[in-house]
Amino acid sequence: MTIKIGILGYGNLGKGVECAVKHNPDMELAAVFTRRDKESLNILTPGVKVCSVQEAESMKDEIDVMILCGGSATDLPVQTPEFAKCFNVVDSFDTHARIPEHFEAVDAAAKEGGHVGIISVGWDPGMFSLNRLYGNVVLPEGSDYTFWGRGVSQGHSDAIRRVEGVKDARQYTVPVEVALKAVRDGENPELTTRQKHTRECFVVAEEGADLKRIEEEIVTMPNYFADYDTTVRFISEEELMRDHKGIPHGGFVIRTGKTGWENEHSHVIEYSLKLDSNPEFTASVIVAYARAAYRLSKEGAAGCKTVFDIAPAYLSPLSGEELRKHLL
């Protein structure tokens, strides 16, 4: 019997989930739900149902796990608790500071409906969070470092697009090599925001726009760029489409620490990701957690969980026996 997956929201992540389901033979895509005109979506899976979000509740018996693919800013805080009443749900909520309140809202709704909700699944939060936790418990005497990039930050790209005279833009977050090296060498540096990452902006300006002013507005933008060394390069629309179409990302989680009676031995734990497609990788993590949500629900569990609460074996299609034989 396959696990029937619903996708709610068909943007980059929704499409990524569709691809990931294809690569997991124990799953099938039951339906895609959207708030837009359903005729306007270009769904890849032949014959799959495309429905409006309003139809979802009436289809609750056809879906084992609903994967919520909306944005973290305004979609998921509303949609995840709402749909957790009727479905097992997984989301990729990534506003770190608001995870505790999101957890509370989803927990109450999932318990009310008797379902499992797994929130903040992906790579950060997600796989990076797990690696931070493993690093901390293995090396309690130590320091944590997370570097992001080289990769596209959608939020920062959007912020540049809001500057007057900007037609389109792509922003890359780039880790500072010397800082990474110092951490890997066990120097335990204390790094400021500026010392850890730089920001590279590729900007298409509207014709006749004042480029000097645009650059100044970008590099001094509070919260986004003012605390970083930021470079701005103006390029043509064709160059943007040709060289900056993808959504790559990645980064490093590093824990350095000491062991021994006198702390005489040093250790470095490093987890690294180099992703060609941020949404496709995020989606691949999410579908593994959808499998866990399905299994936990079958066991009678209810309520909200994060990656910290899911035992690794629940993520795999292999049996315990197979896992012990091949992967232990």
- Least distance CB 72 / ligand NDP (angstroms): 3
- Least distance CB 284 / ligand NDP (angstroms): 11
Which of 71, 186 has the CB closer to ligand NDP? 71
Query: For 294, phi and psi rounded to 5 degrees?
Result: -60, -50
Helix (H), strand (E) at residue 321? helix 320-326
The token pair that represents 193 in the structure block? 């925001």
Taking CA atoms, 1 is separated from 27, 36, 61, 232, 285, in Å, by 9, 31, 15, 53, 21
Which of 9, 117 has the CB closer to ligand NDP? 9
- Least distance CB 281 / ligand NDP (angstroms): 8
Which of 72, 198 has the CB closer to ligand NDP? 72
- Least distance CB 16 / ligand NDP (angstroms): 7
Taking CA atoms, 45 is separated from 2, 14, 32, 317, in Å, by 16, 12, 10, 22
- Least distance CB 68 / ligand NDP (angstroms): 8
> Which own/partner contact pairs does 47-53 have at CB distance under 8 Å and 24+ positions apart?
53/8
Alpha helices (runs of H) in 75-169, residue ranges in sequence order: 76-84, 99-113, 127-138, 154-161
Query: For 168, phi and psi rounded to 5 degrees?
Result: -155, 165
Q: Which amino acid is at 272?
A: S
Residue nearest to ligand NDP (CB): 11
Given strand 3-8, what is the order of strands in its sheet? 49-52, 27-34, 3-8, 65-68, 88-90, 116-118, 303-305
Which of 257, 279 has the CB closer to ligand NDP? 279
Task: Identify the CA nearest to 144 among candidates 159, 152, 155, 133.
Answer: 133
- Least distance CB 106 / ligand NDP (angstroms): 15
Q: Are 104 and 78 in contact (CB under 8 A)?
A: no
The token pair that represents 71 in the structure block? 């944005």
Which of 66, 139 has the CB closer to ligand NDP? 66
- Least distance CB 187 / ligand NDP (angstroms): 29
Which of 55, 187 has the CB closer to ligand NDP? 55
Q: Which amino acid is at 95?
A: T
Q: Are 59 and 51 in contact (CB under 8 A)?
A: yes
Given strand 197-205, what is the order of strands in its sheet? 151-152, 166-175, 197-205, 229-234
- Least distance CB 188 / ligand NDP (angstroms): 27
Which of 95, 231 has the CB closer to ligand NDP? 95
Residues of the shown chain interacting with ligand NDP in the complex, contacts defined by CB under 6 A: 9-14, 34-36, 69-72, 92, 94, 122-126, 278-279, 282
- Least distance CB 275 / ligand NDP (angstroms): 9
Helix, strand, or coil (residue 311): coil
- Residues 183 and 204: their CA atoms lie apart, in Å, by 36
Which of 10, 228 has the CB closer to ligand NDP? 10
Which of 11, 114 has the CB closer to ligand NDP? 11
